[in-house]
Amino acid sequence: MSPSSNGDSPLSATGTMTATISANIMRQFAMPSRDFSLEIPSPQLLASTNGVNALKSPTSLKSARTPSFSREGILGSAQKARDLSQSSENRQDNGSNGLNKTSSDEGSNPLKRRNTDAGLDYPRRRATIACEVCRSRKSRCDGTKPKCKLCTELGADCVYREPGIKLDAGDKLILERLNRIESLLQMNMVGGGHSGGMAMSHDSPNMSNGTALSGDNMMMPGGANFVSIIPSGGLGTWSAAHINSISTMPKVHTNAALHLLQWPMIRDLVSRPYDPQILLQLEMAREPLHSLTKTPCVDLSNTNAYIEAYFDHVNVWYACVNPYTWRSHYRIALSNGFREGPESCIVLLVLSLGQASLRGSISNIVPHEDPPGLQYFTAAWALLPGMMTSNSVLAAQCHLLAAAYLFYLVRPLEAWNLLCTTSTKLQLLLMAPSRVPADQRELSERIYWNALLFESDLLAELDLPHSGVVAFEENVGLPCGFEGDEQESVGRDDLWYFLAEIALRRLLNRVSQLIYSKDSMASTTSLEPVVAELDFQLTQWYESLPLPLQFPFTRTMLPDPVQTVLRLRFFACRTIIYRPYILAVLDREEAVLDPSVRDSCHKCLEASIRQLEHITAHHAGHMPYLWQGALSIVSQTLLVMGATMSPSLSNILWSLVPHRETIDQIINSVVVEIERYSVLSPSLSLSAEILKEAEVRRRAFLSMNG
C-alpha cells in the first residue's frame, strides 16, 4: 500500500489484511519474538439511511475475536515483511500497487519525492545482495564491492553469496541461533558487564567526520569514552531489556518544546533564558477549579443528544466505553439517582464529554463562561472519592474519563494526577490476571493503553515522575473489540484510530529514546542510520493504515477529523526525527554543505511547514490534544523562526512555499492562534509570550541583516 498523494481519500477497503510476523519485524518494533499469522477483517462500509457510507470498525465483528489478537497483531500488520539485513541506503521502491505516479504526485507526497541534491529520496532501493558478515549480524549492507563499508571498518573478509543460492529453513534457524549467541557474547564483552546493557561501541562508525551536535544534552563525550545507545552489532542485536525499553519515554530527554530556546540562533530570540521546568512550575502553581466545590446541579433533559454526541465524536479518541453495555450502565445509574456507584460516575462523565464535543474547540468558548459539560463533570467529581478507594476496573475507567475531561479543559497536571491513580489501580489488577473479570478484560486493556498514551504525551513536555504502568506493557494485549448485545448498542465501536495511535506513540517514544535521551547520538554521521530506520518505520506505519484512515498528502485541509489528526501527528513525528540536523546547521552553517545534512534539513522543515500552514486544522484534535498540540506548534514555530535566520536554511524554507512572504504569514497566524489559547493555561500563556517576543526579535534581526 503506497501513500496516497491525490486529493481524494479512499472510501472503502475490501478483503482482508493478513499479517505474518517474522522475528526480524518483531525485533524492529520491539515486540516479543513469537511468530504467528493473523487475519484482520477490513473495515466494511455499510449503507446508511441518508445514502452516505459509514465506516464500520472491524471490532464490530465480535464473533471474530480470538485470544491470539495481541499487540503483535496491530503493530505487526502495520508493516510489510522486511529483511533487516538489507541496506537502508538502497531500499526497493514499493510499487506493488501497480499505480503510475505522476510528477505532481511525487511533489505532493514527501515520502515519494526525489531530491536532486541527494540522489534518490525515500523510500530507497534495497541492495540486491548483502554480504555474509552483514547478513549474519543483521546489519545493513551498502553492497559496495569488493568490500562493503562495515567489513572495511571491521577488517573482515567481505564475501557475497552467489545469486541463486538460497538457505533452507534449517540453515536460517542455525544462523539465527548463532547470531543470537554472537550478539549476547558481543554485548557482554563490549559492555564490560554493565547491567544496563549499554555497549561501548568499538565497531561503530568513526565519528570524526560527522558534524557535531551541540546544545543542551546533545553533545556527548567523544573519543574512547563515547558510549553509543546503538549496540555494536546494530539495531538487530539488542537484548530483551533494551528492546522493551526503547519504546518507552526516557526519564531524561531534550525533546520538549522549550529546549529549543537553548539552541544557537533561537536563544537570541528571547531576552532571557528559560528553565525548561518553567511550564511544570506554572501548572503546579495554578488555581484549582473552584466550580468543583459547588453543589452539583444536573439537567437530565437532553441526555440522549449528549450520549449520541459522545459515541459519534469522542469515543473514537479513547475507545474506552462499551456501546453494547451502555444501556445497562445507564439503567443502573438511573436507579441510583446518579448519586452513587461507578456506573453513575461513568454516565455523568460521558454526558460531560458529549456535551463538550458539540461546542467544538474550547478555545472558541468565551472567557469566564462555564465550559460545556462542567455541570456533569462536577457531579461526577463528587463521586470520585468513592472510586478512589475502589480497585475495580470500573473505578479505573472513572478516573480515566475524568482525566479526559481535564485534558479538554487544558488542565494537564490535574489530568496527570488522575492518570496516576488510574495507573496504580491498573498495576494492582494486572499483577495477577485473575483479578480482572473475564467480561472486563477488554475494557481493562483499553484503559491501560489510554493511560500509557497520555502519560507518554505528558512526559514528552513535562519532567514528571513515571507511574510505572509501562512495566506491564508486554503483558497487556491490544484491544480487539467489545462484546455485547447488538440490539443494545448505542454507537459504533471504532478501533482503527486508537490502534494506529498506539503504534505511532510507541514510535514517538523510540525517537525520544534514540535521538533525544542523554545517551543519544553525538554527530550526524552516527545519527544517520538511526534516523533512516525511524523514518522507515514511520512510513511503514502510514502504509499500514486502513484505507479510510490513510490521509492524502495534499496541501489542503481535510474534512475528516481523524485523518486530520493522524496527518498532523505524522508530520510532528517526522519533524522530531530530523530536527537534530537543523541544530547542526544552526551551530555550524558549513554543515549544510553535506548533501545528506541538507536533505535531512529539507525533510524536517517541510514537515514543520505542513503542520503550521493550516493552523486551524489543529482544532480537529482539540478534544484530546489541545495542550499537547499547542506545544508541538510552539516547538515547530521556533524551529522555523531559527531557520529564517540561517542563510542556507532560509533558502530551503523558501523552496517549500510559493512566496517568501508566506513564511511570515504562517508565523503570524501561529502567534495569533497561540495567543487565543493563552487564557486556557498558564503554560500556554507563557508560550504565547515567548512566541510574540521571538517574532519581534526575529523581524528586527532580519531587517538588520537583510
- Please give the residue that has the higher pLDDT: either 209 or 288: 288
- Asked if the peptide bond before residue 123 counts as cis, ω within 30 degrees of 0, the response is yes
Q: What is the pLDDT of residue 367?
A: 79
Q: What is the pLDDT of residue 669?
A: 97
pLDDT tens per residue, range 204-229: 333 333 444 433 333 333 333 333 33
608 HSE (CA, 13 A, CB side): 33
497 HSE (CA, 13 A, CB side): 26
Helices (H), 202-254: 240-245
Among 157-166, 188-197, 584-593, name the most confident range: 584-593
In the chain, the percentage of residues whose pLDDT exceeds 70 is 69
- d(C-alpha 356, C-alpha 159), whole Å: 64
pLDDT tens per residue, range 593-605: 999 999 999 999 9
Q: Diameter of the chain by CA atoms? A: 80
The sign of the CA dihedral 404, 405, 410, 413 is negative
Q: Confidence class of residue 310 from pLDDT cuts 50, 70 and 90? A: very high
Q: What is the pLDDT of residue 321?
A: 96
SS3 assignment, position 62: helix
Q: At what angle do helices 524-544 and 496-511 cross, to 10 degrees?
A: 180
Name the nearest CA neighbour of 575 among 608, 542, 600: 608
Q: Confidence class of residue 176 from pLDDT cuts 50, 70 and 90? A: low
- Please give the residue that has the higher pLDDT: either 227 or 441: 441
Q: What is the pLDDT of residue 111?
A: 62
Residues 39-47: what's their mean pLDDT?
35
- d(C-alpha 466, C-alpha 468), whole Å: 6
Q: Confidence class of residue 178 from pLDDT cuts 50, 70 and 90? A: low
> CA torsion 43→47→51→53, rounded to 10°?
0
pLDDT tens per residue, range 363-392: 998 878 889 999 999 999 999 999 999 999
Q: Are 347 and 333 in contact (CB under 8 A)?
A: yes
In the chain, the percentage of residues whose pLDDT exceeds 90 is 56
Q: In whole angstroms, what separates CA 693 from the centre of its chain?
A: 30
Q: Which helix (H) or strand (E) holds 673?
A: helix 661-677
- d(C-alpha 207, C-alpha 523), whole Å: 7
Cell numbers standing for residue 211: 558534524
Q: What is the pLDDT of residue 137?
A: 75
Q: What is the pLDDT of residue 149?
A: 87
Q: At what angle do helices 647-655 and 595-612 cross, to 10 degrees?
A: 60
Residues 334-362: what's their mean pLDDT?
95
SS3 assignment, position 47: strand
Residues 495-522: what's their mean pLDDT?
88
Q: In whole angstroms, what separates CA 268 from the centre of its chain?
A: 30
- Does 78 score more than 50 pLDDT? no
Residues 117-129: what's their mean pLDDT?
43
Q: Confidence class of residue 98 from pLDDT cuts 50, 70 and 90? A: very low
pLDDT tens per residue, range 396-409: 999 999 999 999 99
Q: What is the pLDDT of residue 190?
A: 44
- Please give the residue that has the higher pLDDT: either 388 or 60: 388
- Please give the residue that has the higher pLDDT: either 468 or 36: 468
Q: What is the pLDDT of residue 643?
A: 97
Backbone angles phi, psi at 35, to 5 degrees: -100, 135
Q: What is the pLDDT of residue 108?
A: 57
Count the Cβ atoms, other than its own, within 10 Å of residue 382.
Answer: 18
- Does 622 score more than 80 pLDDT? yes
- d(C-alpha 112, C-alpha 674), whole Å: 32
Mean pLDDT of the chain: 77
How far the first Cα of the chain sits from its last, in Å, is 46
pLDDT tens per residue, range 546-571: 999 999 999 999 999 999 999 999 99
Residues 290-317: what's their mean pLDDT?
89
- List, in order, residues 6 or more apart from 18 with CB less than 8 Å away: 37, 38, 39, 40, 77
Q: What is the pLDDT of residue 131?
A: 85
Cell numbers standing for residue 426: 491498573
Residue 48 DSSP class: P
Q: Give me the residue label for grid cell 516479543.
A: 32
- Does 60 score more than 70 pLDDT? no
- Does 620 score more than 70 pLDDT? yes
Least confident span in 136-140, 370-374, 512-516, 628-632: 136-140
Among 45-49, 281-285, 477-481, name the most confident range: 281-285
How far is residue 244 from each of residues 32, 247, 537, 568, 586, measured CA to CA in Å? 9, 6, 17, 27, 34
Q: What is the pLDDT of residue 420?
A: 96
- d(C-alpha 627, C-alpha 403), whole Å: 13
Least confident span in 68-77, 299-308, 331-340, 595-604: 68-77
Residue 41, beta-bridge partner list: 16
Backbone angles phi, psi at 18, to 5 degrees: -110, 125
Residue 226 DSSP class: -
Q: Are 198 and 191 in contact (CB under 8 A)?
A: yes
The amino acid sitting at 59 is T
Beta strands 37-41 and 44-47, pairing class: unpaired
Residues 516-542: what's their mean pLDDT?
86
